[in-house]
Chains A and B, each alone.
Chain A
Amino acid sequence: MKTLIPLFLCALFSGPAFGAVGCDLNDPDRDVARLFPSSTGYKTQYLSVKTAGGEKLLSRIENRLGDKFKGLYETIDVPYTLYEIYKGKEKIGYIHGVNQKGDYGGIQVFLSIGTDAKIKAFYIQKLTSRAARELRSKDFGAQFTGLSLKDFADYDPVTGKAPDTSPVSKLKSPSAAAENDFHNVLRSVKKNLILTDEFLFSKAVK
């Protein structure tokens, strides 16, 4: 009974965390080193569309995405965690993740982005899918390396189509079972690139 009660208390009083759910790396120290092997440190920033520009920014993001933010959880106040990656004192890139509704559960897609705004690494942290293994494979993720927001500009997340001239049309779904979640992943990558552009690169240009 003495061991039982503390365990029971842990379950009874596991603290609630209020506010919209964000997308953080589970183990930032380990994950940053893996996604940016040359890094020596990182800083964390917390951002949201609401605080960065409100309704006006949301509308611009939705226009660029070609789709509305939808459902109970894709909202203006979702917090985003942006990891600024450093090699010594030099900033060498960013890691940013987004949540995406998948066929069977939430998908958490992280991108390592260089200071040139191109994808350096692609990582699905969490995914529930019949083709989860294939979608999380290195081969699938490697297809995204070198792509940027410009390449996703013509991708339509509603129809799941991109013009033949778009580099996105060359991205291959790993299996027929993964088709729906493949398109969910593409939407999340486009959303991720737009958000980092709005939070970082466009802001820097302005």
Chain B
Amino acid sequence: MNIYSVAYKNLLRKKTRTALTAAGIALSAWVLATLLGFNRGYENGLNRDIDNMGFQVLLTAKGCPYEAATLMLKGGTGLRYMLEDVVKTVTSNPEVEGVTRMLMQGVFDPNKGENGAIAAYLGVDAQTYPKMKGYLEFKQGGWFTDNTAYEAVMGYEAAELEQREIGDKLLIPGLNAELKVVGVLKRSGTQDDGTIFLPISAVQKIFSKQGKLTGLGIKVKKGADMDAFENRLYDLPDVQVVSMAQVKSTIMSLVTSAKVIVFAIAFIAVIIAMAGVVNTILMSVMERYGEIGILKSMGAMPLDIFRMIWAETAILCSIGGMAGIALSLATARAAEAAVRHFLPFTPNGNMIALDFNIAAGAFGLIVVGGLLSGIYPAWRAARVRPLEAIRSEGE
């Protein structure tokens, strides 16, 4: 019989106490693994969403909040424009890998709902925009190839709402401009799902905005000095710079404050679980005081006793840790739904990214914490004096 089977049998003597302690450890492991998974999943999702934007910097006209938001808030009247000359200025910077021109326009459609609503259209460059949005896939058709064509590509939800398929007609209300739908996108889970894309020159002509843009997406070369580049863009007259790095850091700062609180709670949960381990093992040692004395009188060395008690701690923490990891895997989707409900901004994709490394890390932390907690009870057991212990047992 080895030391582990002795330790295991000792734990089975008080099944309820052992089960409750293991449950406490399992809860700590569950919280820890879920939080570590969330930490990774959120950051991955954010990076993916920002990469899916296709560009790292967005240039808009000064005083003009993001174009889509302006359309929503001001009904298409608050848009301000940049002149297309800005394209040349921006592309002359060595950091720029590519740019894509955009012109957002909206019209009031009195026949949407009881009081009318805004119908919005995003004019994009047929040559550059599809390359930057390489992740977009088509359910039907494809991108327009001519910037002057009266054609449209519809995000999945926009197409569903308008019941459009390729070959169907699309009318811009009030302007009598008729377009042909040439593509319907698959769902991407981004704002593109609700967008109607038109060739940029066609939008400029239909809305009489020749030579004007509402946005310029800029793709920056890998390894370029973003700060220096952005500082140069800030010097451009009448434009505003929205950097995806800033967007990311803003979101992360929003999330970090929440994460600090949550990690503090997780830390407290781990401490409580460890206190439970100390309590359980110490009680077990006290209850077996005489027994430990007999073991020592029969020749067991302090190190043997220490190892036996420590093995009990290790078994308890391993069982609890594994149960907690299994629980975190089983409840990952439910935890994700809860996080999405409570957080103001959540990226797409898996938010609780649990993998082997995270599971192993959380398990390791729990076991190491448990073993540290087991040192004191094991040390107390190792220091038991045989005669004193046997005498106190007899009394």
Known A5-B247, A16-B187: A72·B139 in contact at CB below 8 Å:
yes
Are B163 and A73 in contact, CB atoms less than 8 angstroms apart? yes
* CB-CB under 8 A for A5 and B190, given A12-B49, A13-B49, A105-B164: no
Chain A residues contacting B162 (CB-CB under 8 Å) are: 105-106, 128
Contact between chains at B171 and A105 (CB < 8 Å): yes
Among A11, A12, A27, chain B packs the most CB atoms within 10 A around the CB of: A12
Q: Select one of B176, B178, B184, B191 contacting A11, CB under 8 A.
A: B191
The answer, among B113, B114, B189, B242, for a CB contact under 8 Å with A8, is B242
**Chain B neighbourhood of A27, CB < 8 A:** 113-114
B315 in contact (CB, < 8 A): no
Q: Mark A109-149, 1 if CB is under 8 A from B, else 0.
A: 00000000000000011111110110010000000000000
**How distant is the Cα of A104 from the Cα of B175 in the complex, in angstroms?**
13
- A128 near B242: Cβ-Cβ < 8 Å: no
Interface residue A165 (Cβ < 8 Å from any Cβ of B): no
Within 8 A of A (CB), among B27-54: 49, 53
- A1 CB within 8 Å of chain B: yes
Q: Is the CB of A11 within 8 A of B163?
A: no
Chain B, 188-239, CB within 8 A of any chain A CB: 189-191, 193-194
Decide yes or no whether B345 CB sits under 8 A from chain A: yes
Task: Give A49 Cβ to nearest chain B Cβ, in Å.
Answer: 17
**Does A127 lie within 8 Å of B111, measured CB to CB?**
yes
Tell me if B379 is interfacial: C-beta within 8 Å of chain A.
no
B165 touches A72 (CB 8 A): yes
Residue of B193, B194, B246, B348 near A5 (CB, 8 A) is B246
Known: A16-B187, A30-B114, A126-B113. A11 touches B173 (CB 8 A): no
Contacts of A192 in B (CB 8 A): none
User: What 0/1 readout, one digit per residue, does chain B (37-81) give for beta carbons within 8 Å of chain A?
Assistant: 000000000000100010000100000011011000000000000
A129 cross-chain contacts in B, Cβ below 8 A: 111, 171
Contact of B170 among A1, A3, A73, A104 (CB under 8 A): A104
A22 vs B294: C-alpha distance when bound (angstroms): 77
A26 contacts partner chain B, Cβ-Cβ < 8 Å: yes
In the complex, A66 has a CB within 8 A of chain B: no
Q: Chain B: which residue is nearest A5 at the CB level?
A: B250
* Residue A205, interface by CB 8 Å: no
Any B CB within 8 A of the CB of A103: yes
Residues of B with C-beta under 8 A to A18: 187
Residues of chain A with a CB closer than 8 A to B112's CB: 126
Residue contact B113 to A125, C-beta cutoff 8 Å? yes
Scan residues 67-117 of chain B and give those whose CB is less than 8 A from a CB of chain A.
68-69, 109-114
B164: nearest residue on chain A (CB-CB)? Answer: A105
Nearest-neighbor residue (CB-CB) of B64 within chain A: A4
Whether the Cβ atoms of A101 and B163 lie closer than 8 Å is yes
Question: Is there an interface contact between A7 and B114, defined as CB atoms closer than 8 Å?
Answer: no
* Interface check B251, CB cutoff 8 A: yes
B161 contacts chain A at the CB level, 8 A cutoff: yes
Task: Contact check, B191 vs A4: say whether CB atoms are below 8 A apart.
Answer: no
Note all chain B residues with C-beta closer than 8 A to A176: none
Do B170 and A4 touch across chains, with their CB atoms under 8 A apart? no
Identify which of residues 21-37 in chain A touch chain B, using a CB-to-CB cut-off of 8 Å.
21, 26-27, 30-31, 34
A14 within 8 Å of B by Cβ? yes
Chain B residues within an 8 Å CB radius of A196: none
Flag if B49 contacts A128 (CB, 8 Å). no
Report the separation of the CA atoms of residues A133 and B66 in the bound assembly, to the nearest whole angstrom: 32
Contact of A3 among B53, B65, B139, B169 (CB under 8 A): B65
**In the bound complex, CA of A103 to CA of B160 (Å):** 14
Please tell me if B240 contacts chain A, counting CB pairs below 8 Å: yes
Q: Which residue of B lies closest to A125 (CB)?
A: B113
Q: What are the residues of chain A within 8 A of B157 when measuring CB–CB?
A: 16-17, 21
Q: CB-CB < 8 A to B168: which residues of A?
A: 101
- Closest Cβ of chain A to B217, distance in Å, is 13
**CB proximity of A179 to chain B, nearest CB, Å:** 15
Q: List 14 A-B contacts (CB under 8 A).
A: A5-B246, A9-B247, A9-B250, A12-B49, A13-B49, A21-B161, A27-B114, A73-B163, A105-B170, A106-B161, A107-B163, A124-B111, A129-B111, A132-B173
By Cβ-Cβ distance, the 7 closest A-B pairs, closest first, are A104-B171, A7-B69, A106-B163, A132-B111, A101-B163, A105-B162, A21-B160
Given contacts A1-B242, A21-B157, A105-B171, 13 further A-B contacts (CB under 8 A): A4-B65, A4-B240, A13-B346, A13-B347, A16-B157, A16-B193, A27-B114, A72-B139, A74-B163, A103-B169, A125-B113, A128-B162, A132-B173
